[in-house]
Amino acid sequence: MLAHARAHRIYGYGRPINSTDERLPWIMQLAEKLGLDQGAHVKLAFEVEKVLLPHYPQLRMNYASLHAALIADMGLTAREYQLLRIPTFLAGMPPCLVEAAAKPEGVLFATPCSGVAYAGLARREWSAHATGQ
């Protein structure tokens, strides 16, 4: 794990500005109240942090790690977890839109689509049957 930490990011550990996630104490307080604070995945998430911190003090557990651990302890599948996360991801979009709308045109995404050299799969043609038309 330490070799991986040196070469890559570890999802759920570390934050770009302040490594301490101020949300965790509140989440753990609620988890304890609901009897969710002693699950195997929650314990593992804290153990991973204990291994990382002596070598990488900036890699403190963040919301993503604790949230995933709680969900795993509740028995949700990876797919169910992904579906659960959609609304929380979308909730962060309106503030970005408001901020971007206050800036001049072309500032947010200064590179036009025509300026991107795409080398992936060719565009697919959709049949009327596939689109429901």
Each residue's pLDDT expressed in tens, for the chain with a length of 133 residues: 667 656 667 889 988 778 889 999 999 999 999 999 999 999 999 999 999 999 888 899 999 999 999 999 999 998 998 898 899 889 888 888 888 888 887 676 667 778 888 888 887 777 766 555 5
Q: Tokens for 93?
A: 């979009």
> What single-letter amino acid sits at 76?
L
pTM of the complete model beyond 0.85: no
The whole-angstrom separation of Cα 106 and Cα 101 is 10
The secondary structure of the chain in percent helix, strand, coil, rounded to multiples of 5, reads: 55, 0, 45
Cβ partners under 8 Å of residue 79, min gap 6: none
- What's the confidence (pLDDT) of residue 22? 93
